[in-house]
Amino acid sequence: MSTRSQTEIVSAMNNGEEYPDLPEVKLIPPKERWAIARSVVLIFAFVIGGLFVLGFATLIASMWITHGNVDISVRLMKEAILPLMEEVAKFAATVFSPLLAFIFGFYFGSGRHH
């Protein structure tokens, strides 16, 4: 094992030296990249869709439980379901969308340099 620092290794490699202690880089085949990307998108769709379905199922259940009392259902919609939908939308826009962009950039952008 060499005692060279990481900066020295990178500098030497930029100058054309080979460094035998580095592990071999294995690229992910395009077919597997698409499978990973597809599964990430499906997870995103199921989480967001599931929360929307849960919100509407709650509304329908409240109408069934209260025997069609619209006042209670409207109050539930304003105080519980709409805030839930707003928070899901904020989460998707602020957290999950950049995460998806990062993951797709990692899986699809890394093959361009080789």
**Cα–Cα distances in Å, from 1 out to 4, 22, 79, 103?**
9, 11, 63, 33
Q: Given this model, what pLDDT does residue 105 score? A: 78
Which residues does 52 contact at the CB level (< 8 Å), separation at least 6? 85, 88
Q: Given this model, what pLDDT does residue 65 score? A: 86
Q: Given this model, what pLDDT does residue 114 score? A: 43
Q: Given this model, what pLDDT does residue 3 score? A: 66
Q: Given this model, what pLDDT does residue 103 score? A: 75
Q: Given this model, what pLDDT does residue 23 score? A: 64
- Name the pTM for this structure: 0.52
Of 27, 46, 23, 24, which is closest to residue 108 (Cα–Cα)?
27
Q: What is the mean pLDDT of each run of 10 residues along the chain (114 residues)?
A: 69 71 69 80 85 83 82 84 85 81 73 48
Encoding tokens for residue 4?
């060279």
Q: Given this model, what pLDDT does residue 102 score? A: 81
Q: What is the DSSP string of 85-111?
A: HHHHHHHIIIIIHHHHHHHHHHHHHGG
Q: Are 40 and 103 in contact (CB under 8 A)?
A: yes
Calpha distance 8→88 (Å, rounded): 47
